[in-house]
Amino acid sequence: MILNPGMLITAPLERFSVVIILMRTLALTLLDVWVNVLIMKTPQYHLTALKAFLSKRKVATIEQLGAALGNPARCTIFRKLSELDYISSYSHRGKYYTLRSVARFSAQGLWRFRSAWFSRFGNLLKTVEAFVQRSDAGYSAGELKEMLGVQPKHALTRLVRDGRLQREKIDAAYVYFSADNNLCQRQLRARKSHAKASVATVMVANPDIAVEEAKATILLFSSMLNEKQRRLYAGLESLKLGHGGDIHIASLLGMDPHTVSRGRQELINANCGGDKVRASGGGRLSQEKKRLK
pLDDT (tens digit per residue) in 10-66: 556 566 676 677 777 776 666 666 555 544 444 454 688 888 999 999 999 999 999
Q: 280: pLDDT confidence band, cut at 50, 70 and 90?
A: low
The whole-number pLDDT of residue 42 equals: 47
Consecutive H or E run containing 117 = strand 116-119
Q: 144: pLDDT confidence band, cut at 50, 70 and 90?
A: very high
Q: What percent of the chain has pLDDT over 70?
A: 72
CATH of domain 43-104: 1.10.10.10
The whole-number pLDDT of residue 273 equals: 63
Question: 71 — phi, psi (to 5°)?
Answer: 55, 55
- Mean pLDDT, residues 188-207 taken together: 64
Cβ–Cβ < 8 Å for 80, 45: yes
Cβ–Cβ < 8 Å for 187, 177: yes
The whole-number pLDDT of residue 225 equals: 87
Angle at which helix 245-253 crosses helix 211-223, to 10 degrees, equals: 80
| 87 vs 68: which has the higher pLDDT | 87
> How many Å apart are CA 38 and CA 116, to the nearest integer?
42
> How many Å apart are CA 114 and CA 119, to the nearest integer?
14
Cα dist. 254→222, 231, 249, 250, 278 in Å?
A: 10, 11, 8, 6, 19
What would the 3-class secondary structure string for 257-271 be? HHHHHHHHHHHHCCC
Beta-carbon neighbour count of residue 176 at 10 Å? 26
Q: Is the pLDDT of residue 121 over 70?
A: yes
Strand order in the sheet with 165-170: 139-140, 173-178, 165-170
Cα dist. 171→133, 214, 234, 267 in Å?
A: 21, 18, 16, 24
> How many Å apart are CA 164 and CA 125, to the nearest integer?
10
Q: Is the pLDDT of residue 128 over 90?
A: yes
Cα dist. 276→75, 262, 265, 268, 273 in Å?
A: 53, 15, 17, 18, 6
Q: Is the pLDDT of residue 243 over 80?
A: no
What's the mean per-residue pLDDT of the chain?
80
Amino acid symbol at 162: D
The whole-number pLDDT of residue 131 equals: 96
State pTM to two decimals. 0.64
Q: Is the pLDDT of residue 211 over 50?
A: yes
Q: 178: pLDDT confidence band, cut at 50, 70 and 90?
A: very high
The 8-class DSSP code of residue 179 comes to: S
The whole-number pLDDT of residue 256 equals: 82
The whole-number pLDDT of residue 15 equals: 66
Domain ranges for the chain:
43-104, 187-268
User: Looking at the DSSP assignment, which residues form a beta bridge with residue 175?
Assistant: 140, 168
- What length is written for the chain? 293
Q: 274: pLDDT confidence band, cut at 50, 70 and 90?
A: low
Cα atoms in the 13 Å half-sphere on the side-chain side of 135:
28
